[in-house]
């Protein structure tokens, strides 16, 4: 079991529940399932953008309620808080070169996926889908890791987020290798994107040194597929 799952099931994964072995003990999965069951019992739509927006609105309302309760419990008066001098870690994260590199990776990969799609046969579908899913996780989790990095109380969140980004990069690297083997027409692009993914991985590990060992060693060896000459 990945160590970050032991610490924090929330926000430390790639949200690919259909392939996950942790569904039984995952609170995120359980809550999603309960929400679906509740919607079904109420005869509400469970698919589509309208249903998703309705669910997100409800989740925000529940979260706000929880935060207000917590603040009251801790004796914090939110109306009295002066945030004029506060840093904006999310604005800072957007300017961070590592986040920008991760974001560029997503944009380049998205363009690659559009070009590659007509070539993909059943033999490459699985790897293509891996890239489709994981290339968006990379900037999202990198952003979160950087945004949480300077706050000692939520350092674990930064490490978990970096770990999730590293895992997604590893899966992308493996998938690029498999796609390059099957489709020589796109092997050069796969090679370039794979190299960028490896650079981002290295930078994440240098910055979040907790992500340098344990299960990531196994990921690393699997993520170093050679490309065809
Ligand atoms: S949200 Fe889904 S993918 Fe993430 S840990 Fe839970 S079950 Fe697994």
pLDDT digits (tens, 9 = 90+) for 139-158: 999 999 998 877 777 788 88
Q: Ligand 1 pocket, 22 CB below 6 A? A: yes
What span, in angstroms and rounded, lies between the C-alpha atoms of 54 and 223?
39
Q: Is the distance from the beta carbon of residue 17 to the nearest atom of ligand 1 less than 6 Å?
A: yes
Host H or E run for residue 66: helix 49-73
Q: Are 22 and 1 in contact (CB under 8 A)?
A: yes
Which atom of ligand 1 is nearest the CA belonging to 20?
A: 8
State yes or no: pLDDT of 19 exceeds 90: no
A 10 A CB-CB count for 174 gives: 21
Q: Is 32 in the pocket of ligand 1 (CB under 6 A)?
A: no
- The CA 185 to ligand 1 mean position distance, Å, reads 35
**Whole-number percent of the chain with pLDDT over 90:** 41
pTM flag (> 0.85)? no
Distance of CA 132 to the CA centre of its chain: 12
Q: Which atom of ligand 1 is closest in space to residue 9's alpha carbon? A: 5
Q: What is the CA 31 to chain-centroid distance, rounded? A: 19
Helical residues (DSSP H) of the chain, grouped into ranges: 3-7, 27-41, 49-73, 89-95, 97-116, 122-148, 155-182, 187-207, 215-222
Delineate the domains of the chain, giving CATH numbers in brackets: 3-80 (no CATH), 89-222 (1.20.1440)
Residue 75, helix vs strand vs coil: coil
**Burial class of residue 83 in the structure, from the number of CB atoms within 10 Å of its CB (0-12 exposed, 13-18 middle, 19+ buried):** exposed
Cβ–ligand 1 contact at 13 (below 6 Å):
yes
Closest ligand 1 atom, residue 28 Cα: 1
Per-residue pLDDT reduced to its tens digit, 41-97: 999 888 777 888 888 888 888 888 888 888 888 888 877 776 666 667 778 888 999
CA distances from 158 to 94, 161, 205 (A): 15, 5, 12
Contact, 144 vs 11, CB < 8 A?
yes
Q: Which 3 state secondary structure label does DSSP give 4?
A: helix
């Amino acid at each position: 079991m990945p160590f970050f799952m032991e610490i924090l099931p929330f926000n430390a994964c790639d949200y690919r529940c259909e392939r996950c072995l942790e569904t039984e003990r995952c609170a995120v999965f359980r809550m999603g399932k309960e929400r679906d069951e509740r919607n079904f019992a109420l005869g509400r739509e469970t698919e589509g953008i309208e249903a998703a927006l309705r669910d997100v609105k409800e989740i925000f309302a529940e979260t706000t309620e929880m935060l207000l309760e917590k603040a009251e419990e801790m004796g914090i008066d939110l109306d009295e808080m002066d945030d004029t001098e506060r840093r904006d870690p999310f604005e800072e994260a957007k300017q961070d070169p590592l986040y920008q590199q991760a974001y560029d990776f997503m944009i380049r990969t998205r363009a690659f996926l559009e070009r590659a799609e007509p070539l993909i046969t059943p033999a490459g579908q699985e790897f293509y889908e891996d890239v489709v899913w994981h290339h968006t996780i990379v900037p999202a989790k990198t952003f979160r890791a950087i945004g949480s990095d300077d706050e000692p109380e939520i350092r674990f969140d930064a490490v978990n987020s970096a770990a999730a980004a590293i895992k997604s990069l590893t899966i992308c690297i493996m998938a690029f290798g498999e796609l390059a083997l099957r489709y020589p027409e796109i092997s050069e692009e796969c090679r370039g994107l794979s190299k960028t993914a490896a650079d981002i991985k290295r930078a994440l590990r240098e910055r979040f040194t907790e992500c340098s060992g344990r299960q990531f060693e196994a990921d690393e060896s699997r993520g170093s597929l050679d490309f065809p000459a």
